[in-house]
Amino acid sequence: QCNGNRFAYKGMGTQRVEEEIKKLFPGTPVRRMDQDTTYRKDSHYEILKGFASKDFNLLLGTQMVTKGLDFPDVTLVGVILADTSLDFPDFRAREKTFQLLTQVAGRAGRGKLGGEVILQTYYPEDWAIKLSAEQNFQEFYKKEIEERKELFYPPFSRLVLIRFQGKEEVKVQKAAESFGVKLTESLKSKGYSLKSKSIQILGPTSSPLPKIKNDYRFQILVKTKEVRTVTQTINSIFEKGAEKRYSGVKISIDVDPLDIM
């Protein structure tokens, strides 16, 4: 709205939050539950046992404290940066955000005392945030399913993720581009329009996580109602000497991927 071009990426680690809590509530026992404090065997159990027996009043943690915990005396849950997962380049981002927030909200008010949930967010008007605060599952489904239909995402299509990775970025990119051209040409030769509601191809492009463990990553995402045709076309490309043509590049095919990152 301000037409500016400066972006600030905000975040806050659990250690920093712990420091602030100790300033706000001096003398109040608090325990932190994250990767740093739970690497030892049985450390999860020890922390939760201490919370259940009221050795400390405040439990601070990452997503590991959001699911499956039943403490009837918990009356307040707070979520910092409740919108972080909304920014992931994944069509399930809102669904995952809604799921996480409704789960963590369910940790409060499980007993006779009732409960309160406070969400801190930079996107208070986003419907995933608002509806999770309201625990309005039906309205969330209605909005989510309408958007999925408009954008041709599951359940209105199926996904095929083709991922390319290797040590040399240029080689990986060229392999993805070459494969993308062959896939497009092959599908067009079979009479498919790639702008239709039958098959759509996104990419090739750098993966949302472009490099993992020194491997560069590119990907092609196919949205389709003709998944058998797409997989058969991909197989035919491999049968025509793809192993030699894409030497040094690992290619993986994932039908109905749970993760497109």
Task: Give the number of other Cβ atoms within 10 Å of residue 132's Cβ.
Answer: 26
What does the pLDDT look like over 8-42, one tens digit per residue?
A: 766 678 888 899 999 999 989 999 988 888 888 88
Q: DSSP class of residue 123? A: -
What does the pLDDT look like over 204-216, one tens digit per residue?
A: 999 999 999 999 9
The confidence score (pLDDT) of residue 194 equals 72
The answer to whether residue 182 scores a pLDDT higher than 90 is yes
- Could you give the 3-state DSSP secondary structure of residue 74? coil
Average pLDDT, whole number, for the chain? 89
The confidence score (pLDDT) of residue 244 equals 67
Does the pTM exceed 0.85? no
Handedness of CA 18, 89, 102, 100 (dihedral sign): negative
What does the pLDDT look like over 152-170, one tens digit per residue?
A: 999 999 999 999 999 999 9
Where do the H-state alpha helices sit in the chain? 14-24, 43-52, 93-105, 127-134, 137-151, 169-189, 227-239, 242-245
Strands (E), 133-238: 158-166, 199-212, 215-224
pLDDT greater at residue 259 or residue 224: 224
What does the pLDDT look like over 50-90, one tens digit per residue?
A: 988 889 989 998 888 877 788 888 889 889 888 888 888 89
Q: What is the mean pLDDT of residues 86-96?
A: 90
Integer Cα distance of 129 and 127 in angstroms: 5
